[in-house]
Amino acid sequence: MSTFNPEEMIARYKDRAAAVRKRPLPPVAGDERQHFIAQAETDFRDFAIIGDSVATIEDGVLVLRIDMRPPNT
């Protein structure tokens, strides 16, 4: 088994966020379309937040440092 690398995990989340942005809309309409769009927005936000984090392992615990302050602070 390979060693866990937090930087590789963060890179995978960045890739997932980019993939969600490129995800085409399926041929659905109405409520299903709105649900798909809402889920894609949530997926992108979640993946992007983790993709922007700084990961460390402290005393055997994975710690994700995520700056949630507005950009101008």
Q: What is the dihedral of CA 71, 5, 44, 22, to 10 degrees?
A: 120
- Domain membership flag for residue 73: no
Residue 1: its pLDDT value, please? 52
Residue of higher predicted confidence among 11 and 1: 11
Model confidence pLDDT, tens digit, residues 57-70: 999 999 999 999 88
pTM for the whole structure = 0.78
The domain tally of the chain equals: 1
Across residues 34-55, what is the average pLDDT?
A: 94
pLDDT at 29: 87
Range of the domain at 53: 6-65
pLDDT in tens, 18-38: 999 998 888 888 888 899 999
Q: Which of 16, 17, 37 is nearest to 26 (CA)?
A: 37
Within a domain: 72: no
70 within domain boundaries: no
Asked whether residue 71 is domain-assigned, the answer is: no
